[in-house]
Structure 1
Amino acid sequence: MRTAVGLEWIYDLGDTNKGIGTGSDQLGPLAGVAFANSKTGLTLIPLIQHFESYNGDADISQTAIRLIALQPFGEGWWVKADLKTPYDWENNAWPASAEVQVGKNLNDKVAMYADVLLGLGDDRAFEQGVGVGVRFKY
């Protein structure tokens, strides 16, 4: 078991109608624990995270309970499942979502990934989506 502590930075790309923005720039500090299975490589990470906007038109203040599962495979490849259940303090809602990522570690510091997202429940913020990203490890 290891402690998981981090910070997610969300930069608004400015067009929520096209699905490439959130309406604000946000910071999301997080803390949890990581349970790793040394035989299979599977890691489960239950955590809590708070998202707060600091710039933009949308006021974001959400506290999320998350469960992340990471499974490496092949040469530097991995798959990640992420169930996110946030409470939206601005709108008194629970806009839950699920995400599946497939990624590749390019080196010790940089990874690229593609993901599929699905909004869950009556308060969902979106129906579905796809994305690509770059992850910097430090």
Structure 2
Amino acid sequence: MLTLFDPFADFYRNAPARRRVAAPDGYLRPAVDIHERPDAYEIQAELPGVATDKVSVNVERNVLTILAERNESTDTTDEKTGFRHVERVRGTFRRSFTLPDTVNADAIDAKLADGVLRVTLPKRDAPGARKISVSAA
């Protein structure tokens, strides 16, 4: 079905190029997948090595923001650890999404397991057309 207005377009418009890690604002950007089911949307964000207490999911003014922090407790300089090459990313991860009006923001649920954050965004019941009766004054 072709529509002129897609209320979920911001999800796709804000998606980074594949495997791009750092954003212009200095935050790291976790890779995300977004699925739509009949009853809900689900965001899956890659957050390997991030502890549950270092993840926050907030909704304000219809914008969902995922913040996470991954830091190593040990010094990672060559002299102390012997690392010759480091690819694992440390720092603050952030992604924000404008939610469509069909999301029930009061019922959003988030779970972190096996390095993947799953945020479930239940849909509201779509308002259907209804007939308004007219009475005499």
Q: Scaled by the length of structure 2, what TM-score is found?
A: 0.25
Q: Compare relative contact order (CA 8 Å, sep 6+) and give the higher one, 1 or 2.
A: 2
> More strand per residue: 1 or 2?
1
Bigger-Rg structure (1/2): 2
Q: Scaled by the length of structure 1, what TM-score is found?
A: 0.25
> More helix per residue: 1 or 2?
2
